[in-house]
Each structure stands twice: as C-alpha cells, then as structure tokens.
Amino acid sequence: MNKKILFIPLVLFLLLAAALLWQLNRNAHGDDPTLLESALVGKPMPVFKLESLQNPGKYYDQTALLNGKPLLLNVWATWCPTCRAEHQYLNTLAEKGIRIVGLNYKDDRVKAVNWLNTLGNPYSLSLYDGDGMLGLDLGVYGAPETFLIDGKGIIRYRHAGNVDAQVWQQQIQPLWNKYSQSAEK
C-alpha cells in the first residue's frame, strides 16, 4: 500500500480547516442586520388584507395606507425587547405629527392590545399580522423593522432595529422631509 494515500485525509482536513478559518475571519465582526437591504425599496407596498389589531373582524388593505403623504410602517411585537425600547420614541414621533402604522407581527393579540393600552399607542392604524404573511412579503427578518412609505405607496427605505432619536435624525428624517415635500407639490 502506498504511504502517500494515508496523507489524503490529513490534507483534506487541513484544506477544510483553512476554508473555515478564512470564513470566520471574514465574519469576525458579525453581520449587521441594519445593513440588510430590502428587495422592495422602490417598489409598491405588497397587496394585503389584514384585520385591525383592536377591532377583530374589521379588515384593511394596502389602500388604507394611502393618503398622499408619507408614513412609517413599524413592525413590532410584545415578545421583542427592542420594540419596547423604541416604543417611547415612536410615541414622541406620533406626538409631532408623524403618521405611523403599526404591524403587530406574529404576536398574541390580547398581549398586543394590552401593550398599547399600557405604553401608549403611537399608531394611527394597527394591523394584526398573526401568521406573519405580510411580514414575509415585506422581507421582515425580525422585529422591530420600520419602513418609510411615500404618499403613493412606494417603499422608500427600510430600517432594521431600534428607531431612536439618532436613527430618526440621521437616516429617516431627511427622507421623510424629501417625500413630505414631494407630496405637497
């Protein structure tokens, strides 16, 4: 038997180990979920028909979002600790006249309604996506995610993660102002 054949498993192992180490080094800082791009940016809001969170049996479709002015679509859930962290800032934005539509995602309806009653309701409309199908159509990776939708129903921006004062001022507000001005023309 040829002794060189005995080294084949060792060589294969070393090649595999080198490939894995190379990949680990590439991802050493981890993936930033806020950098995940949405395939829907620049496209219309997906077609949907969902129940109101607070009024079961009352349904809304994508036309309920259209009033000629931009809005934020905030995907949230009671099981999401980051959603709780951003909720107070969403209340602040709503008090300033920013229209926010809530999409309660894969959640318990009773817990969600209690959440809004306890922490305040920043949403001009609250939709219930119990099975997560609209979230799937939007490409949601998890809550919270916030979409900026212009007055014509086109998704203009997606933010994964907490919306706070810094995110609002640096990333979303400039776009909000742009699409608000174009709605006035």
- Alpha-carbon distance of 63 to 104, in angstroms, equals 18
Contact 40, 145 (CB under 8 A): no
pLDDT (tens digit per residue) in 85-143: 999 999 999 999 999 999 999 999 999 999 999 999 999 999 999 999 999 999 998 89
- Tell me how many degrees the CA angle 103-108-113 measures, rounded to the nearest 5: 65
Q: Give the pairing type, strands 71-76 and 49-52.
A: unpaired
Mean pLDDT of 52-70: 95
Write the CB contacts of 176 (distance below 8 Å, at least 6 apart in sequence).
Answer: 70, 98, 148
pLDDT (tens digit per residue) in 157-166: 999 999 999 9
What's at 59, amino acid-wise?
Y
Q: Give the pairing type, strands 125-129 and 100-105.
A: parallel
DSSP state of 6: G
- Alpha-carbon distance of 68 to 26, in angstroms, equals 44
pLDDT of residue 102: 98
Q: In degrees to the nearest 10, what's the CA dihedral of 121, 36, 48, 81?
A: -30
